[in-house]
Amino acid sequence: MNTKTKTAIEALRLEVLRCGVRRDDIGVVEERDGRFEFAVRYFGDWMVPEDEEDDGDYDWKVPTPSSRRMLDKLVDTFSKKFGVKLVWENEGEKCWLRFATA
């Protein structure tokens, strides 16, 4: 991977930290399977999927529609700024997301 790609994902990670994520809830940038990525927990708002019963302890929540729009806008902004394709993925369990280079 080139320096520009790593710089883009590191800048995105710093922006997520500036949004109020606790340092304990965000991973470091790692290179895995030919791409750079980091994981973050509790970023944005989460909900139980509509087709699931909310028993108060559901572990496979998904980002709310407004959080999905915010995540899309965030990766789009950084993708354009650095000329690198970035994506976000719902890790599913325990409110984890993964940001990565595509």
* Residue among 76, 85, 94, 99 at smallest CA distance from 5: 85
Q: Please give the pLDDT value at position 101.
A: 95
Q: Please give the pLDDT value at position 5.
A: 94
| pLDDT tens digits, one per residue of 18-75 | 999 999 999 999 999 989 999 999 999 999 988 888 877 888 999 999 999 999 999 9
pLDDT at 1 over 80: no
8 pLDDT tier (thresholds 50, 70, 90): very high
* Adjacent-strand bridge partners of 97: 40, 90
The range of the structural domain enclosing residue 28 comes to 3-50+59-101
CA dihedral (56, 58, 59, 62) in degrees, to 10, reads: -100
User: What's the predicted TM-score (pTM) here?
Assistant: 0.90
Do 94 and 45 touch, CB atoms closer than 8 A? no
Tokens representing residue 99 in the block: 């940001």
Q: How many structural domains comprise the chain?
A: 1
CATH number of the domain that 92 lies in? 3.30.980
